[in-house]
Amino acid sequence: MSGIFFLGTTGSLLNIILFSRRKLRQTSCCIYFLAASFSSLLSLLFGLIPTFYLLNNVYPGNYSVVFCKMQSYVTHTSLQMTRAFLALACFDRYTLSLGNTYLQRFATVTVACRCIPIVILSCYLIAIHLVIYLDVVNSSCGIRYAPALIYNSVYSITTISVTLPLFMFTFSLLTLMNLKRRQKQRQQMNTGLIHRDIIRDRKVFFTLSVQLILYFISTALYAPNIIYTTITQNMPKSSDQQAIGVFINRIALLLIYIYPGLSFSAFTLSSGTFRRELINLWRSLPIHCVRGATVTPHTTTNRRTLNLTNNQT
């Protein structure tokens, strides 16, 4: 878990720096990646730092209602924002692949900058029930009101494991089909400019696909864990069942942070443009700007020339 936290926070900061650079921020898809990097960093800070504190101390949410509500609320909404930005990136690539001039207007930086605040506000409003119903009961932070617990389970499974993955998969598949169709059409024209356009579209789609695969891995156990926890919450369990439940819960928790923790590595491995910008960033650091002064060796010939010049003077 500590490795995920270190890689995630460092990688998210580097993602923010790189996607803020002029070359990358001119692409609408990269704007969504930039926003997702911010929300990923926020989820790591609010989600994992209390987990590390819990190793040797009492979890503050077990006795502080304010901490219980805010830590869970901010962590959940930050992760939801990351998923929503990835979904918008999929739709962005889809509209661009259509070749329709009107629909391509949605794949612009201006539209992306307008969508991001809407997503942020929507995520905060949709999950407001966490602030209302989360409470400290019997020295534990959680939702104790049964209808609210069922609603939260259905809401979480529907958005995280059904709606968003289905949305991403559908538009990714449609984008791939559109790219293949456009490639066949453009190959008949046989121009170098169009060939470069095809390569660029496929590279961006490949980068997005790697991010989606990482996301699907991170949510693989989320729905089964939520369903199992909800069903067995009030059921008597043996010590073995409790140990299995705790183990599954920890694995599901670890997987949830796989995407925020490894997104930078995925960008680096899948995108040549991202790697070049990373190299340029490294070369622009002050340690590469300081050049050593050139020192001319003081040889015997130099000394003789200097002495002759002095004598002539």
For residue 261, what is the domain's CATH number? 1.20.1070.10
Q: Taking Cα atoms as reference points, which of 265, 256, 269, 264 lies closest to residue 44?
A: 256
Beta strands 134-136 and 141-143: pairing type? Answer: antiparallel
Tell me, yes or no, whether 35 lies in a domain.
Answer: yes
Rounded distance, CA 111 to CA 92, Å?
10
Tell me, yes or no, whether 310 lies in a domain.
Answer: no
- Joined tokens for residue 238: 């043996």
Tell me, yes or no, whether 304 lies in a domain.
Answer: no
Tell me, yes or no, whether 131 lies in a domain.
Answer: yes
Helix (H) or strand (E) holding 286: helix 286-289
Greater confidence (15 vs 289) lies with: 15
- Residue-number span of the structural domain to which 95 is assigned: 1-279
Q: Taking Cα atoms as reference points, which of 78, 85, 38 lies closest to residue 208?
A: 85
Which amino acid would we find at residue 188? Answer: Q
- Per-residue pLDDT, averaged over 188-207, amounts to 65
DSSP 142: E
pLDDT in tens, 269-310: 877 777 888 888 788 777 655 554 444 455 444 444 434 344
Given a cut of 90, is residue 254 above it in pLDDT? no
pLDDT confidence of 102, banded at 50, 70, 90? confident
pLDDT value at residue 287: 66
Tell me, yes or no, whether 298 lies in a domain.
Answer: no
- Per-residue pLDDT, averaged over 39-52, amounts to 88
Tell me, yes or no, whether 260 lies in a domain.
Answer: yes
Q: What is the mean pLDDT of the chain?
A: 79
- Does residue 204 contact residue 93 with C-beta atoms inside 8 Å? yes
Rounded distance, CA 50 to CA 60, Å?
8
pLDDT value at residue 1: 72
Tell me, yes or no, whether 129 lies in a domain.
Answer: yes
pLDDT in tens, 140-185: 788 878 788 888 888 888 888 888 888 888 888 888 888 777 777 6
Overall number of domains in the chain: 1
Tell me, yes or no, whether 17 lies in a domain.
Answer: yes
Given a cut of 80, is residue 188 above it in pLDDT? no
- Per-residue pLDDT, averaged over 26-44, amounts to 91
Rounded distance, CA 180 to CA 43, Å?
37
